[in-house]
Chain A
Amino acid sequence: MTEPKKLKVATCSLAGCFGCHMSLLDIDEKLFELVKVVEFDRSPITDIKHCGPCDIGIVEGGVCNAENVHVLKEFRRNCRILVAMGACAITGGIPAWRNNVDLWDCFQEVYSYGIGLENGQIPNDPELPLPFDKVHPINEVVRIDYFLPGCPPPADAIWKFLTDLAAGREPKLDYDMLHYD
């Protein structure tokens, strides 16, 4: 019997805290089972910088700046199935708390009045990603196929979700696996 073709998976973290990725790694010993069916493309665990053609893209974090958009669009272009993982990707999450703070005040706070700053200047370096007025969930920027809520989603939920997808089943979370916090 031939091995079924492995699913190619890419992941990334936009305006998130890597908590979802930690949860992904948290599937522990099942990770070994997982790598039997999937192969990682771009991901914090592979160090590949750009996403190539993939079966599944998993995105953690919302969209808070221009660079996030470039990465997200690259994922959308390359991934057959795009998954929003975690509260931030799905709702903006904690970073979206800044959405009702004036961006100017944010800059002032960070670069001018922040603790330990003297003569702070607002940087204009093109290397720095320019922030949006507001943080947005990723489904407001590209079409998203699946949502995997949680802050972070429990490892079991990620496992169930990925194995369902790998098996060609419509992913379905049990009650205990579905939560928003």
Chain B
Amino acid sequence: MTKTFTLDGKVIPFEEGETIMEAAAAAGVYIPHLCHHPEFKPHGSCKLCTVNIGGRLGAACTNRAAEDMAVESETEALNADRRALTQMLFVEGNHVCPSCEKSGNCQLQAVAYHLGMLTPHFTHFYPARDVDASHPDVLLERNRCILCELCVRASRDVDGKNVFGIGGRGIKARLIVNSASGRLADTNLSVTDRAAEVCPTGAIIRKRHGFTVPIGKRLYDHHDIAEVPVAGMERPKRD
């Protein structure tokens, strides 16, 4: 017999060691997330996937599923918290969607749509952050970085390069790169690296590929992120 738990009352099967997020995704249930990606080690920093696990709040992407546990995700209260977290991510950076190459294909924006966010609400920080256009093929636009560390994980764990890291702490935390000059051009990042394409926002983008898809045809123009399948989120066939 497979083990199961319930998610908003729905019975979800899981395999030993799977997280709530993994089991839910395999069952086709969407839990909002930003720093989670099925190919990389769970990170648990954005907190968008916060669910209620038998009365205690916790991140779905880092908490393991357990037999008969009752998890709530689609509640008004949790979605309100998620909206607030999304708003925090917007005000801590400089997100000008109308002029962003990633708009329409951006997961931060799409999650915000999903949550019905109409305004970033909190007072904007308007931080001064550097744009790094030094690399021939890749633009690093720190104004849009949400510090999800997907690029950090991809470069370290998949590309074996350690191009990215996080420097500083608190609200001053920032994306740093592996070169003495601090410039992306002086790292060994290649445009074919996993790290160059994993960014959920418009912080790392391929040069000369912006605005190629017309408005209306972009990933999230007509589809809620909950309905857009992410490659790799299904559980590999077992048997």
Contact = CB atoms under 8 A, between A and B. Distances in A.
Contacts of B103: 180-181
A61 interface: no
Nearest to A137: B124
Interface in A88-108: 90-94, 96-97, 99-100
A134 B104 contact: no
Interface string A168-181: 00000101101111
Given A96-B126, A100-B126, A137-B124, A178 B113 contact: yes
Report whether over half of chain A's contact residues are helix, strand or loop; otherwise say mixed.
Answer: mixed
A176 B113 CA distance: 10
Interface residues of B, number: 28
Contacts of A175: 113, 222, 224
A181 B215 CA distance: 9
Interface string B83-116: 0000000100011111110011000010011001
B119 A84 contact: yes
Q: Which of A146, A151, A180 has most B Cβ within 10 Å?
A: A180
B116 A91 contact: no
B192 interface: no
B171 interface: no
Contacts of B221: 176, 179
A64 to B, nearest CB: 13
B128 interface: yes
A131 to B, nearest CB: 15
Nearest to B216: A176
A140 interface: yes
Contact of B116 (A148, A151, A178, A181): A178
Interface string B19-57: 000000000000000000000000000000000000000
12 contacts: A91-B95, A91-B124, A92-B124, A94-B99, A97-B99, A100-B128, A140-B124, A146-B118, A179-B97, A180-B103, A180-B112, A181-B215
Given A137-B120, A176-B222, 7 more contacts: A87-B97, A91-B96, A136-B124, A140-B123, A147-B118, A149-B118, A179-B113
Interface of B: 90, 94-100, 103-104, 109, 112-113, 116, 118-121, 123-124, 126-129, 215, 221-222, 224
Interface of A: 84, 87, 90-94, 96-97, 99-100, 134, 136-137, 139-140, 144, 146-149, 151, 173, 175-176, 178-181
Top 6 A-B residue pairs of the complex, sorted by shortest distance between their CB atoms: A151-B98, A180-B97, A147-B119, A147-B118, A181-B103, A99-B126
